[in-house]
Structure 1
């Protein structure tokens, strides 16, 4: 029964245009950022670009160390691209309420918890696919650019492939978070506004402000974006803090558990808030 429910959820998802539109924008966006930043930093470190002409000051101060550049570039897939699987999960869920497709779904399968579980599993797998697409952009384009400047891409390093694997898991968990948000806030417009406002404005500001003291840095590690970065193991935020400022981070497995807890809390809360209600 669960497998049939999962197949039904995949059919719903793949018969809409939103998944491939988001995937195409994700690839282009991450590819542009990864290629551009890789060219800038690799060019400075290799001496091909004059730092003063690039507007980065003098010398290589302010650029990532040579060995940390590839992971930083590759991590753009999750540290910047995570908003796309969140949107996919939220839209896939809120669309059910908006277009009232939940009515025939619940008539075909009255086990609402099973339907929700199937949706979470489906979007988790879709999020993993989005992670692979984002990595094609960040690793594929980023590594080509880094190699063009004679900088080691670290693709022969097992730590790099561990980062890539954890990125896929992070993106899958973000899609599950999106499902939970969509169930908790069934309004499609409201969900989109919350996702964009929190991911693009609220959390980045909170994380940047928290870097100045130990107390706030400890709290900020449990924000969803910070937990995701801890899971992956690299992020552009590692360069955003003040020199000598307070830093605090979770282990990769702790970050994964925190992100999983966000997804579970939103999904369970949404189940009791809206999923069990009469949808006719």
Structure 2
């Protein structure tokens, strides 16, 4: 616990936490506005002509539980990016400020140090998830009321989406720590992480759209192998036609996090800190 408190103190005594916090708030507000518009459009049904092959997916998206789950997990896309960056910074700040030698001299058991960093990053991720979830429950309920849909907080599907959203935040923090271990440079790791997250999501959607047009819609199910898209799948309220089950997205993300975390610990134990 002392090592975890030490890691949290390192973050609290820098500007990292409040800078990322200030970035998170407007991004959360922006996505709330987008989801408000989307919820209003889906609830009203004023969507115009819809291709026959997309009709089932659209009808599923219009289900009240899915509309509620989407609002109560609002801000996930950018929120996960933020917690990934936090995980990266928890590791790379040691090399950036040249305190890593002191850390390992004070606590020579490197595995314990890395586990403390993982716990600290996960704890910060849970704080961000909790704050955004509370805001989502308040404003999401208001939006649902404005479109004449109840809160649906009594439904298990909605709470499962909220719980899986918490798991996504936790796992992306672990992934961030793994990236920070692999790339010691704070700038290099941060840029790489952003490119992998944003570029991976946008690039995958584009590539799979092309492949689906050539080989059929079934190819789209492979999108779950992309971490950022697996996260989105996890927080759907009910099963969406054409998508894999939500547990598949969770399993894929757990796999990435395990590989990242274990690799990070092993590399730190063996690598020279100089």
C-alpha displacement at 1:66, in angstroms? 4.4
2:227 corresponds to which residue? 224
Change (3 A) 1:43 1:203: closer
Q: Which residue of 1 aligns with 2:3?
A: 5
Is contact 1:30-1:137 (8 Å) kept?
Answer: no
Task: Report the counterpart of residue 142 of structure 2 in structure 1.
Answer: 144
Shift of 1:134: 2.4
Unaligned runs of 5+ in 1: 239-243
Q: Is the 8 A contact 1:35 1:142 kept in 2?
A: no
Instruction: State whether residues 72 and 234 of structure 1, in contact with CA within 8 Å, keep that contact through their aligned partners in structure 2.
Output: yes
TM-score (norm 1): 0.81
* Preserved contact between residue 200 and residue 228 of structure 2 (Cα < 8 Å): no
Aligned position for 1:116: 114
- Where 2:272 maps in the other structure, the secondary structure is coil
Q: How does 1:154-169 map to 2 (within 5 A)?
A: 154-169=152-167
1:210 shift after superposition: 2.1
* Pairwise CA distance, 1:124: 1.1
CA gap of 1:232–1:69, structure 2 versus 1, over 3 A, is closer
- How far apart, in 1, do the equivalents of 2:190 and 2:7 lie? 21
More helix by share: 2
Aligned match of 1:263: 257
Q: Name the structure 2 match of 1:85.
A: 83
Secondary structure of residue in 1 paired with 2:79: coil
Q: How does 1:9-28 map to 2 (within 5 A)?
A: 9-28=7-26
Q: Distance in 2 between matches of 1:36 and 1:215?
A: 28
TM alignment of 1:182-201, pairs within 5 A: 182-201=180-199
Alignment of 1:233 with 2:236, yes or no, is: yes
* Contact 1:146/1:152 (<8 A) preserved: yes
Partners of 1:279 and 1:161 in 2: CA distance = 44
Residue 222 of structure 1 and its aligned partner are, at CA, apart by 1.8
Cα deviation 1:203-242 (Å, max 9, x = unaligned)? 232135325245643432222123223333359xx7xxxx
CA distance, structure 1, for counterparts of residue 153 and residue 122 of structure 2: 26
* Cα pair 2:83 2:125 within 8 Å, conserved: yes
Alignment of 1:197-212 (within 5 A): 197-210=195-208, 212=212
Count of residues paired in the alignment? 260
CA RMSD of aligned residues (A): 2.8
Post-superposition CA distance 1:64-114 (Å, at most 9, x none)? 414122212223332442111001111121111111111111011000111
Distance 1:147 1:154 in 2: 11
